[in-house]
Every structure is written in structure tokens, then in C-alpha cells.
């Protein structure tokens, strides 16, 4: 665990240094909120009743990121603790109940901007870990490959035809470099191509060697009518999002793009450790009893 923690400390430092050097403003995380990420897959609810108001533990900073960019700030990042009470029977090897997510968002950005930024960040992290944590990588028996950019890109339409519904896992096992998967049907806030219904301007970054998804993101919806339509298609209660929707109706929500990636999933890939619980000092796992 000492080797993992040393790599983790270096990775966190590199992430903060990278974003600050590129003009990003760091924000503190939001832990509780009236609304949070609805997620594309079901988890157990984590509600708190406080003084007549119902709050939730934050699943991601997606709505807060959009609202934070209403003013003069153009680029933000947050190292945010997230709580997602995954259902144990449905949880995959990469899932934790509690983890740290690096959320970032850029005003006026497009998908291509996120690709360039994230590929630059990941290759820099890998190079730094290989240079400064040689002894730790030897202890872990990890021969960490250096990926070339740009990373390969695949559409879900092509992958489903080739691999079936388990395309992410199958391709992750086959690949030796990180790659992008594009156009995934999920939460309402990811932008749908206005010229092609059913095609989404979003993406996942997938780690190779079977480590699977590490990042999810997209260009964001900001048009009120489109947001309402997509929420209704997903049978969501719009009343829960009243204030957010009012901002959209007043055309105050800016056009943004961004993503979030999990620190622990990144560590799992960097260290080559297959079991997620072994990269966390105090793991909160849907697969094991929480001891401390």
C-alpha cells in the first residue's frame, strides 16, 4: 500500500499543477445538495432530511459546474468526494461506494478541446510516474506503457455491431492504449447532436488491459426546450430541478464541455492492480464489508 500511496500523492500534485498552469480555477467540492447527478444506472438513494429540506449526497458536480461558469470564470476543476451507493449485485469491479472524482468544465469548449486536454494530462501523469516512482513500479511489478496521442476513437454504433452490448469490456481487454468511445445514450445533460437525433456529443475514456472506463464527459445541453424534452423522454420529475430549469429558461446556463474521472480508477490503471479495494487505504466497496 505504501507504493500505491506514494504514486497517489504524486498524481494528485500533478493534476492540480496541470490544471492551474492552464488557467483553471479550483473550486471546493459540494458534499450535499437538493439535486445531484441522476446517473444512467440505478444506485441506492442517499438522502438527508434537514430542517424540512431533503438533501442528497453528491454523486457528481455536473450541475454545480455549469452554474459556476455563469460569471467571468471560464475554466474550473474540483477534486470532489463522491458517494454512490452501488447495488452490490450490479456493481462492477471498478465501482466504489465512495471515491474521489476530478471534475472539470470549460466554457465555450467542444469535444475536441476535452480530448486534447485529457490526452495531454494522462500522458504527462504517466511520464511523471515512470520518472519519479521507478522504485514503486518495481515493487508493484508494473511495466507502465507510454501511450501515443491522439488516442484511438470508436463510436458505440460500430462497437455494438462488432462486440455486442459488452463492447467496452471486450475492447478494453484487447487494447494496449487508452481510447475514446463516443456517442453514448445516458443522462439528459449530455448534448444530443441537433442534426442527428440519437447521436450524442459525449465520450468515455477507456483504459486498456481490461481496466475499462476511467472518464465520462460531454458537451452539455443548455437550451431549455431541449433539456425539458430529454428529461421527459427519461421520465424524470422536472419539479426536482426547478431552479436549474429556471436558469436554462432565462438562457443563463452557458455552453460548456467537460468531464469527470475517478482518482482510484486512474490509480488502478497506473499501478496495474486489478482489485479496486487494493488501491484505497480505507475502501468503501459494494463487494466487501466496510471495516473502518
Fold of the 2-279 domain: BirA Bifunctional Protein; domain 2 (3.30.930)
pLDDT, one tens digit per residue, over 160-197 is 999 999 999 999 999 999 999 999 999 999 999 999 99
Q: Residues of 117-148 as b/e, b for ≥16 C-beta within 10 angstroms?
A: bbbebbbebbebbbeebeebbeebebebeebe
Distance CA 270, CA 23 (A): 26
Whether 126 has a pLDDT exceeding 90, the answer reads yes
Nearest-angstrom CA–CA distance, 134 and 75: 33
- pLDDT category at 89 given cuts 50, 70, 90 is low
Give the pLDDT of residue 93: 73
The reported pLDDT for the residue numbered 90 is: 59
Distance CA 201, CA 184 (A): 8
Q: Measuring CA to CA, how many Å separate 287 from each of 29, 63, 130, 131, 274?
A: 27, 30, 31, 34, 14
Strand partners, 190: 220
Per-domain residue ranges of the chain: 2-279
Query: How high is the pLDDT of residue 24?
Result: 99
pLDDT, residue 252, reads 97
Is the pLDDT reported for residue 292 higher than 90?
A: no
Output the pLDDT for position 173: 96
pTM value? 0.94
Q: How confident is the model at residue 91 (pLDDT cuts 50, 70, 90)?
A: low
Rounded mean pLDDT of 85-109? 85
Q: Which three cell numbers stand for residue 100?
A: 474521489
CA angle (151, 156, 79) in 5-degree steps? 55
User: What does the alpha-carbon distance between residue 21 and residue 50 come to, in Å, rounded to a whole number?
Assistant: 40
250-288 per-position pLDDT tens digit: 999 999 999 999 999 999 999 999 999 999 999 888 888
Q: What's the confidence (pLDDT) of residue 92?
A: 67
94 pLDDT higher than 80: no
Distance separating the N- and C-terminal Cα atoms of the chain = 16
Amino acid at each position: 500500500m505504501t507504493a500505491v500511496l506514494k504514486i497517489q500523492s504524486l498524481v494528485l500534485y500533478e493534476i492540480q499543477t496541470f490544471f492551474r498552469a492552464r488557467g483553471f480555477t479550483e473550486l471546493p467540492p459540494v458534499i450535499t445538495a437538493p439535486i445531484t447527478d441522476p446517473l444512467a444506472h440505478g444506485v441506492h438513494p442517499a438522502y438527508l432530511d434537514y430542517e424540512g429540506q431533503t438533501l442528497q449526497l453528491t454523486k457528481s458536480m455536473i450541475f454545480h459546474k455549469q452554474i459556476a461558469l455563469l460569471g467571468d470564470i471560464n475554466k474550473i476543476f474540483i477534486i470532489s468526494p463522491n458517494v454512490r451507493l452501488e447495488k452490490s449485485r450490479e456493481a462492477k469491479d471498478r465501482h466504489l461506494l465512495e471515491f474521489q472524482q476530478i471534475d472539470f468544465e470549460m466554457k465555450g469548449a467542444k469535444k475536441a478541446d476535452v480530448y486534447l486536454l485529457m490526452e495531454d494530462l494522462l500522458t504527462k501523469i504517466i511520464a511523471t510516474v515512470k520518472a519519479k516512482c521507478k522504485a514503486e513500479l518495481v515493487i508493484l511489478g508494473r511495466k507502465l506503457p507510454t501511450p501515443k496521442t491522439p488516442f484511438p476513437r470508436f463510436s458505440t454504433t460500430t462497437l455494438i455491431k462488432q462486440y455486442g452490448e459488452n463492447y467496452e469490456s471486450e475492447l478494453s481487454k484487447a487494447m494496449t492504449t487508452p481510447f475514446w468511445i463516443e456517442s453514448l445514450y445516458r443522462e439528459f445533460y449530455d448534448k444530443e447532436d441537433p442534426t442527428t437525433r440519437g447521436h450524442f456529443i459525449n465520450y468515455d475514456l477507456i483504459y486498456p488491459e481490461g481496466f475499462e472506463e476511467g472518464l465520462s464527459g460531454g458537451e452539455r445541453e443548455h437550451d431549455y426546450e431541449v433539456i425539458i424534452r430529454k428529461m421527459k423522454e427519461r421520465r424524470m420529475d422536472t419539479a426536482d430541478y426547478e431552479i436549474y430549469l429556471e436558469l436554462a429558461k432565462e438562457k443563463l446556463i452557458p455552453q460548456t464541455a467537460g468531464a469527470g474521472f475517478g482518482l482510484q480508477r486512474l490509480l488502478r490503471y497506473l499501478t496495474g492492480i486489478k482489485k479496486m479495494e487494493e488501491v484505497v487505504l480505507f475502501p468503501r466497496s459494494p463487494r466487501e464489508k466496510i471495516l473502518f
